[in-house]
Structures are given as structure tokens and as C-alpha cells.
Amino acid sequence: MEKRNKVLAAVEDHVVSIYGRMRTDAAAQQLATLDEDVAVAVLSKLKPRNWPRAWRA
């Protein structure tokens, strides 16, 4: 079970890093197609400077 959790965490980090390297407009389009809970999870792990401009406070 511990190995599974490590693999899932690594995959999650990789997905977040992909979104973090995307242009913000492209990331916003992709995030809009995701399940809301998944999109929120990705956004919560991104640094605010990587958020799409429209979503910044």
C-alpha cells in the first residue's frame, strides 16, 4: 500500500508540473475540461504565478 501511495504522489506531482509549464491560457482550457475536484486539486498545488490570469485574485 505504501508503494502505491508513493507512485500516486509521484504521478500527481508530474501532472501538476505539466500544468505549471503550460501557457496559462492553454492550461485554463485543459483545466476547464477536467472534473471540478480534479481541477481544484491541480490548482491548489500550482504556485499562484502559474494560475491563469483570469483566476488570480
- Residues spanned by the domain of 33: 2-45
**Residue at 28 is within a domain:** yes
Domain count along the chain: 1
**Residue at 55 is within a domain:** no
DSSP letters of 2-50?
Answer: HHHHHHHHHHHHHHHHHHHHS-HHHHHHHHHHS-HHHHHHHHHHS-GGG
pLDDT more than 70, % of the chain: 84
**Residue at 33 is within a domain:** yes
**Given the C-alpha cell 498545488, which residue does it identify?**
45
pLDDT digit string (tens) for 29-46?
999 999 999 889 888 888
d(CA 31, CA 9): 19
Average pLDDT over residues 9-20: 89
What was the pLDDT predicted at 50? 59
Regarding pTM above 0.75, the answer is: no
